[in-house]
Amino acid sequence: MGEDSVFIVGHKNPDTDSICSAISYAYLKNRLSGTSRYKARRAGQINEETEFVLRHFGVDAPDYMPNVGTQVSDLKIEETEGAPDDITIRIAWEYMKESGAVTLPVMNKDNTLQGILTVGDIARYYMDAYTKTIMSEAKTKYYDIAETINGTVIIGNEHAYFSKGKVLVGAAMPEHLASFMEKDDLVILSDREDSQLQAIECGASCIVICLTENASEAVIRLAEEKSCVVICTKFDTYTVARLINQSIPARFLMKREELLTFRIDDYVDDIKETMGKVRFHDFPILDRKGKYLGMISRRSLINMNKKKVILVDHTEKSQAVENLEEAEILEIIDHHRIGTVETLQPVFFRGEPVGCTATILTKMFHENSIGIPPVIAGLLCSAIISDTLMFRSPTCTKRDRQSAEDLAEIAGINIEEYAKEMFRAGSNLKNKTPDEILHQDFKKFIFGETVFGVGQISSMDSEELEEIADKLQPQLEMECGKNGIQMVFLMLTNILTEDTMLLSFGKGSEALVKESFAKEVKEGRCVLPQVVSRKKQLIPAFMQSLQQT
């Protein structure tokens, strides 16, 4: 996603204005900045009306972003190169020195993490007591032994493994070798031919001849006859004895069980506690397919790159994407009342008393002398039609209507015909569950200690709204109590008759409706004539009543 990305996102239950404004503002910001860093996102499921709009203008829905908390992808990931799982301890150490890493990821051929090798693992290997058979236990390849001691395999299969016996230095007289040497041992010898022949006769699986590049013909003949591997090196016996145990494969020392890894999309809040409980210095990061990407350490948490966001069409924290407090809010563009979103530093805020966020954005295009393409014009026009209920809502201003008409001309649509299709698509609720219908456009409000939720469904079909009312009444009861909500309301708004059937449930809900609109609630419902706007009519009336109690 890139550390410079800025995400433009609307509220949790996005309506057409929320989605279309996010897309349109991302386009405008990218044009103004000459970049592509501004990206539209959605914080919830898109409804049928918005789906119709996007499909009509051939626009993909924004990617889903339900949470803007800092993720591993927002940290600085050290691109520590993974080492092949067949390298030796010596080569592994070279990897660490070159990269300055104290933790080395060990990989197989398809870049899947096999294990972790640390400087501590290597130090313990050298400092702790170990048996003389450790090289055979590790199944060390003869080629790796030769390479580690800067030698050459003169006789034998260099790709075979030393897998049985111990390592010893044959410093005794030749006649004494048989007394402490056993079959299959690996023997480090000087350049004395008699000692070499004796070691082979005693059944050595491999002899290492020091201070020479070649073996004598007699030694070669006997080694071939006895199937003994011969390695020659110019190093002396002390140097060989000191280096040879660096030839064991790294996989023998690495930790491979219960590896503590994190995924690129893990949230930092979820991994911080785990990182604090263990004494590891570095932690491997895997992509979504489980492939290794790099390493992070506790230091990575110090300079985290918080997600940068721009909010459109809301200022209520209860309506905002999850973990908003962890993000860096850069701007807010809205047409509602100023809500409960808080920022740590001054931000660009633009709020205007119009019927739709898209109306504000249309003005911003003109202010910046940026032409509006037909597709963007279509999205902005759709948002205005939706939010103003085709100019019937009391929130609608002259600017909204004028902006919509200008945008419709650019987009090449007839507002009335297009609006009917759009609203028809949005009111097609036959295959939806009561929960889906209620949350199609549902917002949570907090006033003092009172918490209530209000959903709204708009339709041109009176019969459909009656059916929805019967279907949704029990759902309100189920919703009450969730997320601290004490009262639940659902506005079933008839666009043609310009009224709303209001469903309500919860302690104090009927009294609140009566106080706000002087209407009696019978069996959890009442009709509010000329009330079509949640933002400008219902919520202000509720807030005023609550303020007086």
Domain holding 288: CATH number?
A: 3.10.580.10
Q: What tens digit of pLDDT does each residue of 241-279 get?
A: 999 999 999 889 888 887 888 999 988 888 888 887 777
Look up residue 382 and give its two tokens. 């759709």
Tell me the CATH number at 362: 3.90.1640.10
Looking at residue 129, its pLDDT comes to 52
Residues 283 and 316 in one domain: no
CA distance 546 to 512: 8
Residues 65 and 100 in one domain: no
CA distance 71 to 262: 10
Count up the domains in the chain and report the number: 4
Burial tier of 493 (Cβ tally within 10 Å: 0-12, 13-18, 19+): buried
Residues 115 and 256 in one domain: yes
Look up residue 402 and give its two tokens. 């004028």
Task: State the DSSP H helix or E strand holding residue 505, giving kind and residue range, or none if neither.
Answer: strand 499-505
Residues 475 and 441 in one domain: yes
Q: Which single residue is written with the structure tokens 């205005």?
A: 384
Backbone phi and psi for residue 393, each to the nearest 5 degrees, phi listed first: -75, 145
Q: What distances in angstroms separate CA 133 from CA 128, 145, 239, 457, one per listed residue? A: 15, 14, 19, 77
Residues 22 and 57 in one domain: yes
Residues 165 and 199 in one domain: yes
State which of 375, 396, 426 marks the end of a domain: 426
Looking at residue 130, its pLDDT comes to 63
Looking at residue 407, its pLDDT comes to 98
Give residue 468's domain range: 434-548
Q: What is the pTM of this model?
A: 0.67
Tell me the CATH number at 489: 3.10.310.20
Residues 213 and 315 in one domain: no
Q: What tens digit of pLDDT does each residue of 397-444 get?
A: 999 999 999 999 999 999 999 998 998 888 777 778 888 888 888 999
Q: Which single residue is written with the structure tokens 């060989």?
A: 240
Domain membership flag for residue 317: yes
What does pLDDT average to in each consecutive run of 10 residues of the chain (549 residues)? 80 95 98 96 93 97 93 86 87 87 86 87 76 89 96 96 93 83 94 93 96 95 96 96 92 85 89 80 86 85 86 93 92 92 91 96 98 98 95 93 98 95 80 85 90 90 83 89 92 90 94 94 93 91 89
Residues 337 and 419 in one domain: yes
Residues 384 and 333 in one domain: yes
Please check whether residue 484 is in contact with residue 490, taking contact to mean a CB–CB distance below 8 angstroms: no
What is the bridge-based pairing of β-strands 38-42 and 6-9? parallel
Tell me the CATH number at 183: 3.40.1390.20
Please check whether residue 295 is in contact with residue 80, taking contact to mean a CB–CB distance below 8 angstroms: yes
Report the DSSP beta bridge partners of residue 107. 84, 113
Residues 323 and 229 in one domain: no
